[in-house]
Amino acid sequence: MTSRVNKKWTVNELLSLQREYELLEMDIFDIALKHKRTPNAILYKLNDEGLIDDFSEARGYDKFYKQEENIDDKLASITMTNETMTNQSIMNRISCLEDTMSSIKMVLDNITSKLSSKPVRTRDF
């Protein structure tokens, strides 16, 4: 969808942008789709080209602004959930490591006790 991100704007693309915004009265979302750019990129370019003086006056900006707020809220929620999941995952791994270390210690203690109870045979040379 946004395959033209960070690509330089061509003269033809700028002419299309002006025609679509001024003559066809398309909003920033429709223009972004057509140009394979983000709505934010369209806002900046409309401003750079003098087609708007302020982002808030751009056609479709209200929809964009509300969508951006919702995305920020969702990202914050996901981040908190991921942090909680990560902390729980770390705690589970620590518990598993503790259990493993305990098992290894028991095996080593068992081996040590068996070795110390057997007489060590040595060869005479």
Give pLDDT, residue 71: 57
Q: Cα(65)–Cα(46) distance, rounded to whole angstroms?
A: 16
How many domains does the chain fold into?
Answer: 2
Report yes or no on 119 lying in a domain: no
pLDDT of residue 67: 65
**124 three-state secondary structure:** coil
* pLDDT score of 102: 83
Q: Whose structure tokens read 């789709």? A: 33
Which residue's structure tokens are 């068992």?
110
Residue 123 is assigned to a structural domain of this protein: no
Helical ranges in the chain per DSSP H? 11-18, 28-35, 39-48, 61-117
Residues 18 and 45 in one domain: yes
How many angstroms separate the Cα of 27 from the Cα of each of 13, 15, 54, 77, 89? 16, 16, 15, 29, 45
Per-residue pLDDT tens, the chain, 125 aa: give them: 567 778 899 999 999 999 999 999 999 989 988 998 888 899 999 999 999 999 888 998 887 776 655 655 655 665 565 566 667 777 777 887 888 888 888 888 887 777 776 665 667 66
- 3 state DSSP class of 41: helix
- pLDDT of res. 108: 83
- Is there a domain that residue 52 lies in? yes
Q: Domain check: are 52 and 17 in the same one?
A: yes
Torsion 105-106-108-112 (CA) sign: positive
Q: Containing domain of residue 18, as a range?
A: 11-59
Same domain, 19 and 54: yes
